[in-house]
Amino acid sequence: MTEETPGFEEKPDVPSGAAPDDAADAAGTSSANPAEEGPAAPAGDATATVAGLTAQLDQARTALGERTADLQRLQAEYQNYRRRVERDRVAVKELAVASLLTELLPVLDDIGRAREHGELVGGFKSVAESLETVAAKMGLQQFGKEGEPFDPTIHEALMHSYAPDVTETTCVAILQPGYRIGERTIRPARVAVAEPQPGAAPAAQAPKEEPKAADEESGGPEEG
């Protein structure tokens, strides 16, 4: 075994005829790092990376568009649901009000008959008027008047007669008033109707007066 003498470093072998500069070059060449002289990365790898990122971005945009469309569809369905619920709520309320007021119609008829006979007096009058006011606030409207043309959509004829002074089927008496809520009729007006006499000619129109001559209007020619 060979022992190394401390204080001395190994030097590269230099030929006996070489110059000192040659020895330094040899030492520098031997100490260079071969890893620093590796091949450069090809340009195709960068292009492939960019293409991959672009594809991922397109996929993300497509997914975002689908989620946005789903959200818009859900919002539209929710709005339709709210409108349908509100419409149903209003319809149920109208049906309940109409049912209640229909049950009160006989009471209102009694109040009307009592008023016609002069029996609506005292505390009964106050209660009756309060009931009519509440019914009106709930949308109840009374209709049916004598002399109006007969309309089968809102009138119910209980009595029929002929009259010489009518030119069309006319309500000549209101037996029971009709009631409606808005545009909805909850009870037609029960009436007595009269029709023109069969074969009666329409009333003749009065002849029109012919315009008088100018000399007649002025009283004739003046005398000299």
pLDDT-based confidence at residue 16 (cuts at 50, 70, 90): low
DSSP 34-59: GGGGPPPPPTHHHHHHHHHHHHHHHH
> Which residue, 52, 48, 186, is CA-closest to 106?
186
Q: What share of the chain is helix, strand, coil (3-state, %, to 5)?
A: 50, 15, 35
For residue 141, list its beta bridge partners. 180
Judge whether 157 and 176 are in contact, CB under 8 Å. Answer: no
Mean pLDDT lowest for which of 32-36, 87-91, 115-119, 184-188?
A: 32-36
Q: Mean pLDDT over residues 177-202, rounded?
A: 87
- How far from 193 is each of 47, 150, 151, 154, 221, CA to CA, in Å? 96, 7, 10, 13, 59
Which residue has 């859900």 as its token pair? 74
Question: What's residue 216's pLDDT?
Answer: 47
Question: What's residue 198's pLDDT?
Answer: 79
pLDDT tens digits, residue range 199-208? 665 554 444 5
Question: What's residue 224's pLDDT?
Answer: 37
- Could you tell me if residue 76 is left (phi over 0), alpha (psi between -120 and 50 degrees) or otherwise beta? alpha
Judge whether 111 and 138 are in contact, CB under 8 Å. Answer: no
Question: What's residue 31's pLDDT?
Answer: 45
Is the model more confident about 214 or about 101?
101
Question: What's residue 86's pLDDT?
Answer: 93
Three-class SS state of 145: coil
